[in-house]
Structure 1
Amino acid sequence: MKKFNPTFLATAVISLLTINNSAATMKSQTMVETLSQQLQVNYNVIDNHAATHGVDCSALGADWAACSKINLTLTNNGEAITERDWAIYFHHIRMILAVNNEQFKITHITGDLHKLEPTEKFSGIPAHSAVDIPLISEYWVLSESDVMPRWYITYLDSKPKIITNTDTESDDLSKIVSPITDQWRRTPDDHNHLVTPSYRFQYNADITPLSADVLRGQILPTPSKLTVKDDTILLNNQGVNLVLNGLNPNSLAVLKKQFNQLNIAVTDAGYKIVATLDPQLPAAIAGAYQLDINHKQATITAYDESGIFYAVQSLLSSIPAKSTTFTALTAEDAPRFAYRGIMLDIGRNFKSKAAILRLLDQMAVYKMNKFHFHLTDDEGWRIEIPDLPELTEVGSQRCHDLKEQHCLLPQLGSGPYHDNTGSGYLSRADYIDIIKYANARFIQVIPEIDMPAHTRAAVISMEARYQRLMAENNPQQANEYRLIDPTDTSNTTSVQFYNRLSYLNPCLESSKRFVNKVIDEIVKMHNEAEQPITTWHFGGDEAKNIRLGAGYQDIHAKEKSSAKGTIDQHKEDYPWAKSQACQTMIAQGIVNDVQHLPSYFATEVSKIINQHGIKHMQAWQDGVKYAENARSFAVDNVTVNFWDTLYWGGYDSVNQWANKGYQVIISNPDYVYLDMPYEVNPKESGYYWATRFNDERKIFSFAPNNLPQNAETSLDRDGNKFSAKGTQPWPGAYGLSAQIWTEDIRSDEKMDYMTFPRLLAVAERAWHQADWELAYQHDREFKAGETHYIDQHALLNDWNHFANLVGQRELAKLDLAGIHYRLPIPGAKLVDQRLEANIVFPGLTIEYSVDDGNNWQIYHKPTSVKAKQVLIRSRSNDGKRTSRIEKVQ
């Protein structure tokens, strides 16, 4: 008789369990695959003004008591769904306040990530049927782009799967979102105009096409002085000969490439372009030059190397695409502002190195010289730092890892996988290449590592490092760069709905060590690239708890307003309020209270910056608001990006910063944020918290050095007039910067779309001060339709000239450069079967169709059409791309 073998039994049991677990896993994965394909999501905006239609948004805790009704529909295109253990994770940039279907619940995870799952009352979704889930959402949903893609299914422990109809990277979200038609107004008192073809036709009516002769020899951005002569210089096949004494070889190579892009050869036998340096020029500032183009040669006299480079840019600007002639002219020129910049955010959504280099190319063309590089944010850390591998291994990646040990949780439409622009980073070599590329184009790279708020990617990464080193029994190294105080239990909500992990702790020595390490490594990269850092951007913005803001009130308050969200504010904390480390600093009198900590940390970081030999610090203005003045810092100069909206008082509050000794870079979101929509239309993407539109005309009309003036030429967010006057002295701006935030700019092509051609208008205002821009005058009040200080005729003529230059010359060059700029949609009207059309940039081709787009015809002049409905669009100069199609009725 055989003896009992316990090992054999244990092995058999384990094998059986393994088989069962494998079967269960396979079943779970099959369930996820099935649900992701048979479920279809539809998002329908029902009412953006729910508070005026019976919903108590205040009681629901909505900021400023603003909420909207949304209907979420799940359509089941397959067999009945009876299981309850599935969930849908989805991105929603608004807080969901109520779910009015007891079969489902929605949980906020973090940031914009939410989880929808069945409740115990779930009765299933029958085969080939749909279920509606009515929601109450905070604020409003005015644009299709507010709805993020890549909703995904999970089931028990299976791998997540994206719901098929939400798996898109394109701008067309029509598979997810029902058309937003009558719900495009933010409030019932929104007086903006919905931009339709007929409204656009009226808006463009004062733009008149100019002849090629009028545009002959014109330069963009506009020079200080320009004289165009009658002579034309015909280039032969030998092209041009660049004899640019004083210009470095790398920048010379850039210019050769630009000539070649215009199909102009660079040879020793070509038309001579000669340059010399003269520091005694009348305009003795960086970038100043004189240019004389005649039959003999083109002669450049420049103050410095950048002046030579910019003079050649002016020469290139005067040449139409594919032209073989120069126009004889003379120009005297110098930049208006020392700082002519672009801020690019690659933290929210990563951008490829190629896209960044294309942007730098165009900055050079339009004489922009500061690249403010926003490298980190809550949603991603995008630069390799030696010795801190978790920053890129964890902090640069987004995926479905609820414990966030391997990646950050998905945000902003990135979904459960890290194979899209939600993930990515620049290697050390990549970053050095970018600096070198910028340096050859006379562009200074200003790195920004945002802090102490917007640091979630860094915090989570350093927690992963902490856990790794603690597991290795190395507590000293584990705590070396830890960014949180484990005693801190503060209940805090950031602007983007993250908890306390969105803020590094400014009271810890380890936070300072971390900052020092990061600055040290990035300084080394700049030194290797031969562009030492002269300015470090601290960041500093939005270090607050939004639930303690003015739009909320405490539930226990004796007097309440129906216009505020009602919440229990006693449960809310300012950032770091419960950190023992911070409370110790307050007790010691180092800071007055926790609200002063961001500005305190800015001063501490300024000491670290100074230790690295950097004498200039930059910050978003709210990051230093509790510092006494610019002399509170350890560096020689402090510059602020001023980003108050004008109509909320920014026209006057800007003076406070200048009068405290800060250099001010005008960065107002209601004029130069390029993530705002081009026009008021739900099909146009972009955030709109600051303005409903920033189009080229509005940006062109912006007066950056006299902010009150803009009240005479523009309206507030809701299309209403506002009055503005400066009540304090204004010493003048240091510069102008456009901002490209990328929350809903996921692809490189979308970045091009949102940036161009608006950036050309920014460049114009940064380089050239127009005659219609008035000098700042203390206590002079401006208001649209009521004051008439601005020469509107001069402004219109200037804008018309610019619009023609863009349409007839610059867009063709952007085509050659591979820029996927936004093609404007034509304006059009149809009266008695007669089609009339126009376009904001004369020179672009307008096309129309009377047969639902099957055949397109070129529009030349008012045309009789036998149709009740006509489709219209524009086409690029190279014929390769078209604008969005709209109906003319």
Structure 2
Amino acid sequence: MTSIKKIFLLFVVATFMLSCSNKNTKVAELLIPQPAQTEVKSGSFNYETPSVYFTNVSDTDKNNLLELIKGIYPEATEATEEDASGVIRISQTGDSTLTPESYRLNIARKSIDIEAIDFGGLIYAIQTVAQLHYLAEEGIPCMQITDTPRFAYRGMHIDVSRHFFSVEFIKKQLDVMSFYKMNRLHWHLTDGAGWRIEIKQYPRLTSFAAWRPYNNWKEFWFGERLYCDQNDPKAKGGYYTQEDVKDVIAYAQKLNITIIPEIEIPGHSDEVLAAYPEYSCKGKPYTSGEMCIGNENTYTFLTNILSEVCELFPSEYIHIGGDEADHKNWKECKKCQTIISKQGLENEHELQSYLVQRIEKFLNSKGKQMIGWDEIIDGGLSPNATVMAWRGEAGGIKAAQMGHDAIMTPGNWLYFDAYQDNPATEPEAIGGYLPLSRVYSYEPVPDSLTVEEKSHIIGVQANLWTEYIQTEDHAEYMMYPRLLALSELCWCKAEAKNWDRFLPAANRHLDILKAKGINAHQISNSVIATEVVDMEKQTIELSFRCDKMPVEIRYTQDGTVPTIESTLYKKPISVKDSAIVKVAIFQNGERITEVQTFTPLYHKAIGKKVSYNIPHCSHYVAKGEATLTDGYNGGASYGDGSWQGFNKDVDVVLDMGEVVTIKEIEVNFMQQAGPWIWFPEYVDIYMSEDAEVWRKVKHIDNDVPRDTEGMLIKNFGFTGDEACRYIRYTAHQLPKEGAYMFIDEIKIK
């Protein structure tokens, strides 16, 4: 062979090897969660009937692992020879460099080697192989992976009280959770809408409190809130027998998932007290959702229930809820007030803490640790309790600073009952807006904590509350693909997260979820616009993105419909005063979406001063006094930082700085009946030259019914031709205790 031929042959081989390596790299980047360390090699493992050789693995674990492998390779068998071709070698090692649930995975052309120090690590290595089997065109790409989780607690919560879901559904979610390396299912078994677990000592909890004459939670909750006997022809609901519970727990254990039960106390107990009213303060059914803490029999009742729960669940944690308890009945109850006096308690917060601490001692006596929502901090935290922070991060931060473990599950980031796309096109949800990108952007460990305090943030959890979720298909629609983002929050270090890598992977995993029979929400192919206001330049920078991939964004600024010849979006568009930008998505040379129109406006009130005659709500401050003239429109979530909330009337004064001619005033309100956000009853707009003498220029009555479903946005504004310096804008709230109004901006043209 001539030298030239040799060089050419070497070049061909090198090119082929590089091509294979690049192909394998692309597949590796699609893994979710992304492994900690990956070294990609050329070639692939192409055996479809491998044998499996175990070292130092118990018989029980062997059976479970082999069953999981057969989900990838149905013809796989246990090997008797370690060095056979096409072998998968699985070793439970004592290697001290490996930590719990971590693993080493080496995929070569003729073998796959898996090492871990525990069952969890072995499971997750196999799940990585399973993902690669789905993702690769053929075979398993050769690579070496060393992987370890960031958090020990990686959780998903499912509420089965508001709407009951089957054992088969729960098992199906466990399968997918394990596939994405989640290891805790928080099973919300009891709440005011229904009791869902058999307690043999108290049969009315399942013969009565588990049933209601309406399937739809909204009909139940906004109606008479009645329960009914199981044999009532109208009965809707259900419960899990203790055998069901054992079955689910055993299934979860095979997947390295721990089931944590939640038994809600002392609030959210309407169903309990309808069945056993003697444990309420008034001793009558349908009078309270809070148990009587002053009644010693309440403790006997609770400890009897928890004894059966502790016996059923091997989890170290038992969740006792502890959230949103109404103190009204305790304030009026002689027994509760007697306990406050005898125990030297300051108030009803400390009364609840007194109950929680007694329950914790009981759980500790059963070898269990107590976990609860962050309200358990309010009256003084129990000695060994773990806190779930849901009211933002404050509860988790406070717990960590006190030396307690905390699990981060803040509603604005991790409540999967919120809308994940445009509410106008989505099934009705309770409110909020939580797209995939926002879930992925969450960082669970606050910078404000010290290194020692950060060690107490032991995990992350997302919650699926089901008030507005009646069916199992709808539940899956809300969980996925957001659970994929959750898995990377839980598993990957903060610096390893990369949205630009994750998004193509999430798009690809939609096919995997479909293959698994999951009714996942499809990543939107709508254009998502972001505006950045520059007050110095007096411009708005408009940028676009689309989460559906791969696609092109094309746009026009002359009012015409975008075509394949229109400008390809590559960088933000700068708008000086106003613009009409039409945008569409293209794929393979064809437009695949409706045209979307965006109208950025640098309006005349941006940066002007607003004074508040009635303060805004302290819970929804947005950007404070700058909110209403900062140039930013509110989005689909009232909690996005651009909507300002009012739990009283709106009464604000805008100072334009000088007398100007007003052609138009635009003020948008949001309405979402679920979280009690409504349009105003009416609006009055006044103008003045000196802020002393006012003239009314507009009165607007609301014509939208309060019970209208969905998320609505409506302008309560003005058009005309008026000269003034000051504008006073007032909005009268509907007479409903606990209601809110939300506005985002006062736009002046």
TM-score for the superposition, normalised by structure 1: 0.54
2:341 to 587, 605, 610: 587
Question: Residue type of the partner of 1:510?
Answer: N
Q: Distance in 2 between matches of 1:341 and 1:806?
A: 19
Q: Distance in 2 between matches of 1:291 and 1:487?
A: 61
1:744 to 468, 472, 478: 468
Cα contact 1:655–1:728 (8 A) shared by 2: no
Gap change, CA 1:420 and 1:590, over 3 Å in 2 = farther
Question: Residue type of the partner of 2:41?
Answer: K
Equivalent residue, structure 1, for 2:458: 734
**Structure 1 vs Structure 2 CA RMSD:** 3.6
1:231 maps to 2:27: no
Question: Residue type of the partner of 1:275?
Answer: I
Equivalent residue, structure 1, for 2:282: 486
Greater mean alpha carbon deviation, residues 227-236 or residues 600-609: 227-236
Equivalent residue, structure 2, for 1:658: 400
Gap change, CA 1:818 and 1:461, over 3 Å in 2 = same
SS in 1 for 2:288: helix
1:676 maps to 2:487: no
Equivalent residue, structure 2, for 1:410: 220
Equivalent residue, structure 2, for 1:596: 350
Gap change, CA 1:373 and 1:246, over 3 Å in 2 = farther
Question: Residue type of the partner of 2:139?
Answer: T
SS in 2 for 1:641: strand
Q: Distance in 2 between matches of 1:745 and 1:385?
A: 26
Q: Distance in 2 between matches of 1:727 and 1:294?
A: 43
Equivalent residue, structure 1, for 2:370: 617
1:355 maps to 2:169: yes
Gap change, CA 1:683 and 1:507, over 3 Å in 2 = farther
Gap change, CA 1:729 and 1:246, over 3 Å in 2 = closer
Gap change, CA 1:819 and 1:584, over 3 Å in 2 = same
Cα contact 2:89–2:111 (8 A) shared by 1: yes
> 1:844: Cα distance to partner?
10
1:842 maps to 2:549: yes
1:862 maps to 2:589: yes
SS in 2 for 1:341: strand
Cα contact 1:487–1:580 (8 A) shared by 2: no
Equivalent residue, structure 1, for 2:486: 762
Gap change, CA 1:770 and 1:658, over 3 Å in 2 = closer
2:26 to 215, 235, 247: 215
Q: Distance in 2 between matches of 1:696 and 1:298?
A: 34
Question: Residue type of the partner of 1:683?
Answer: T
> 1:212: Cα distance to partner?
5.6
1:534 maps to 2:303: no
> 1:523: Cα distance to partner?
2.3
Unaligned runs of 5+ in 1: 1-210, 402-406, 464-481, 489-497, 527-531, 546-573, 632-636, 709-724, 773-794, 830-836, 851-857, 871-889
1:606 to 360, 372, 378: 360
Gap change, CA 1:845 and 1:370, over 3 Å in 2 = farther
Instruction: Give deviations 1:138-181, integer Å, cap 9, x for gaps.
Output: xxxxxxxxxxxxxxxxxxxxxxxxxxxxxxxxxxxxxxxxxxxx
Gap change, CA 1:824 and 1:217, over 3 Å in 2 = closer
Give the alignment of 1:165-314 within 5 angstroms.
214-218=25-29, 219-236=31-48, 238=49, 240-248=50-58, 252-253=62-63, 255-262=65-72, 264-268=74-78, 271-283=86-98, 285-314=99-128
Question: Residue type of the partner of 2:514?
Answer: D
Equivalent residue, structure 2, for 1:94: none
> 1:748: Cα distance to partner?
0.3
SS in 2 for 1:450: strand
Gap change, CA 1:408 and 1:859, over 3 Å in 2 = closer
Question: Residue type of the partner of 1:803?
Answer: L
Instruction: Give deviations 1:436-477, integer Å, cap 9, x for gaps.
Output: 1111111111111011000111111113xxxxxxxxxxxxxx
Q: Distance in 2 between matches of 1:243 and 1:412?
A: 59
Q: Distance in 2 between matches of 1:415 and 1:540?
A: 23
SS in 1 for 2:155: strand
Give the alignment of 1:467-616 within 5 angstroms.
482-486=278-282, 500-526=287-313, 532-544=314-326, 574-614=328-368, 616=369
SS in 2 for 1:507: coil
Cα contact 2:353–2:382 (8 A) shared by 1: no
SS in 2 for 1:320: helix
Q: Distance in 2 between matches of 1:222 and 1:302?
A: 18
Question: Residue type of the partner of 1:523?
Answer: C
Q: Distance in 2 between matches of 1:611 and 1:321?
A: 48
Question: Residue type of the partner of 1:673?
Answer: Y
> 1:429: Cα distance to partner?
1.1
Q: Distance in 2 between matches of 1:617 and 1:305?
A: 25
2:522 to 823, 847, 857: 823
Cα contact 2:524–2:548 (8 A) shared by 1: no
Equivalent residue, structure 1, for 2:439: 699
Cα contact 1:756–1:822 (8 A) shared by 2: yes
Gap change, CA 1:758 and 1:845, over 3 Å in 2 = farther
Equivalent residue, structure 1, for 2:276: 462
> 1:499: Cα distance to partner?
7.3
1:642 maps to 2:366: no
Cα contact 1:754–1:822 (8 A) shared by 2: yes
Question: Residue type of the partner of 1:244?
Answer: F
Equivalent residue, structure 2, for 1:384: 198
Aligned length: 520
Gap change, CA 1:507 and 1:244, over 3 Å in 2 = farther
Comparing both chains, which one has the higher relative contact order based on Cα–Cα distances under 8 Å and sequence gaps of 6 or more?
1
Instruction: Give deviations 1:810-843, integer Å, cap 9, x for gaps.
Output: 22221222111111231269xxxxxxx9952437
2:266 to 444, 449, 452: 452
> 1:611: Cα distance to partner?
2.3
Gap change, CA 1:683 and 1:400, over 3 Å in 2 = closer
Gap change, CA 1:500 and 1:843, over 3 Å in 2 = farther
> 1:275: Cα distance to partner?
1.6
SS in 1 for 2:43: strand
Instruction: Give deviations 1:124-146, integer Å, cap 9, x for gaps.
Output: xxxxxxxxxxxxxxxxxxxxxxx
Q: Distance in 1 between matches of 2:43 and 2:188?
A: 47
SS in 2 for 1:358: helix
Gap change, CA 1:396 and 1:769, over 3 Å in 2 = same
Gap change, CA 1:729 and 1:280, over 3 Å in 2 = closer
Question: Residue type of the partner of 1:740?
Answer: L
Equivalent residue, structure 2, for 1:882: none
> 1:354: Cα distance to partner?
1.1
SS in 2 for 1:244: strand
1:801 to 491, 496, 501: 501
Equivalent residue, structure 1, for 2:210: 396
Answer 1 or 2: which has greater strand percent: 2
Cα contact 2:213–2:235 (8 A) shared by 1: no
> 1:602: Cα distance to partner?
0.6
Q: Distance in 1 between matches of 2:471 and 2:130?
A: 30
Cα contact 1:217–1:319 (8 A) shared by 2: no
> 1:596: Cα distance to partner?
1.7
